[in-house]
Amino acid sequence: MIRFENVSKSYRGQQESVVKNLSLEIPKGKIVVLIGPSGCGKTTCLKMINRLVRITSGKILIDGEDITKQDPIQLRRNMGYVIQQTGIFPHMTVRQNIEIIPTLQREDKDNIALNTLRLMEMVGLDPDEYLDRYPTQLSGGQLQRVGVARAFATNPEIILMDEPFSALDPITRAQLQDELLFLQSNVKKTIVFVTHDMDEAIKIADKIAIINGGILVQYDTPERIMKEPANEYVERFVGPKRLWTKPEFIRAEDIMVTNPATVPEDLPVFKAIEIMRTEHVDSVLVLDSDRHLLGSVSARSALNCADQQVTCASIMVAPQETAAPNRDLVWLLNKFNETGVRTIPVIDGSNRLLGLITTSTLLTTMSQQFSADSRKEAAE
């Protein structure tokens, strides 16, 4: 775990600090993305972690230990670092670039060679074809891959990545993001990743730290940043329709109707019919006195019921499908499609009714996306 405690930085000769009283905890094995406009202090933050930049006040702790108490060379060797614009040494081959630090650390030669093969595989470069090439003989995307392989070469706990993919075309960039996520699913490094790009942040981050003018504005999961931006700045930064590019962040509880028509179990059927008429619905949910969901009664079954004095409980059917409040839009759409149901009650862990998703709720949700889109276009 990396912990910033009230960290500030002012560069020599400058009055204003470029990082202001930053406190932040980066959990072990997670990807944390620092994002913010140019000059807001992202690179400075990374470089304070590996002591390429001196902290003016405050502390950074790694696994509880103050980094200023550690030998900086040793500290850096335990951290992979991919810098803005690769930082690959031009006069060395790909192999030499990847092996430079393990070699400096006098690791076993055979092990290093074996590890290099594994790393090349990992970043999707054919070792036979590329290991002996020089950087000028590689494309930008291939160079970035070498940069990533090199950062992993000493198998460090912590990897710092400063806009590692920013110079790439969108397709290569997306590929490298996918590879990083795949890698991370196996190795679980603590990764601090800097970017300008909100889409990239949302895709790869466990948590996003939004920085503006050296101040931490919000530090949260991508989902919460999109749903509950801390202020207008974050809202603008995230953009109005961003949530819609991530349907898995839209949950049943966000879109359900919270006051669906319900009846108590002992209500006579004719009264249920009245309720359906006044509420303009074609079914009601049947609840017990603690709001536990028991079933539903459709208008048709109620009207066809020979004796309309009997209770709703006696003619109800058990719900075919229910959803937990955190089920996402994709899951819900699939359920509606697979089962052909027209409503799905949302219930909590003890079967109490929270709300109802209907096909028309879904349509409304989708059309809001549409109007957010058109509002944005109108504004442009």
Ligand X SMILES: Nc1ncnc2c1ncn2[C@@H]1O[C@H](COP(=O)(O)OP(=O)(O)OP(=O)(O)O)[C@@H](O)[C@H]1O
Residues that bind ligand X (CB under 6 A): 11, 18, 38-44, 196
Candidate ranges 39-47, 195-203, 208-216, 231-239; the one touching Mg ion (CB under 5 A): 39-47
State the distance between the two ends of the chain, measured CA to CA, in whole angstroms: 43
Q: Which is nearer to ligand X, 85 or 93 (CB)?
A: 85
Q: Nearer Cβ to Mg ion, position 31 or 34?
A: 34
- Residue 195 within binding range of Mg ion, rule CB under 5 A: no
Q: Cβ of residue 349: shortest distance to ligand X, in angstroms?
A: 43
Query: What does 44 interact with, of Mg ion, ligand X, none (CB < 5 to 8 A by kind)?
Result: ligand X
For the bound state, the minimum distance from the C-beta of residue 83 to ligand X, rounded and expressed in Å, comes to: 10
Q: How far is CA 362 from CA 250, 252, 279, 336, 367, in A?
A: 11, 10, 20, 10, 9
Judge whether 308 and 269 are in contact, CB under 8 Å: yes
3-class DSSP state for residue 262?
A: strand
Window of 36-44, 240-248, 290-298, 321-329 that interacts with Mg ion by CB under 5 A: 36-44
CB 18 to Mg ion: min, Å? 11
For Mg ion, the closer of residues 45 and 250 by Cβ is: 45
Q: Whose structure tokens read 């109707």?
A: 257
Q: How far is the CB of 41 from Mg ion (least distance, A)?
A: 8
Tokens of 51: 């002591």
Bridge partners (DSSP) listed for residue 215: 212
138 binds, among Mg ion, ligand X, none (CB under 5 to 8 A by kind): none
- Rounding to the nearest 10 degrees, give the CA dihedral for residues 229, 233, 238, 239: 110
DSSP 137-205: GS-HHHHHHHHHHHHHTT--SEEEEESTTTTS-HHHHHHHHHHHHHHHHHH--EEEEEES-HHHHHHH-
Shortest spacing between CB 143 and ligand X, in angstroms: 18
Q: Does 86 bind Mg ion (CB under 5 A)?
A: no
Name the binder of 226 from Mg ion, ligand X, none, CB < 5-8 A by kind.
none
Hey, what's the torsion of the CAs at 87, 92, 93, 97, to 10 degrees? Answer: -50
Q: Which is nearer to ligand X, 43 or 311 (CB)?
A: 43
Alpha carbon 196 to its chain's center: 15
**Is residue 43 part of the contact set for Mg ion (CB under 5 A)?**
yes
Question: Of ligand X, Mg ion, none, which one sits near residue 7, judging by CB under 5 to 8 A according to partner kind?
Answer: none
CB of 11 to ligand X, least distance (A): 3
SS3 282: coil
**CB under 5 to 8 A by kind: which of ligand X, Mg ion, none does 41 bind?**
ligand X
Q: Give the residues lining the site for Mg ion (CB under 5 A).
A: 43
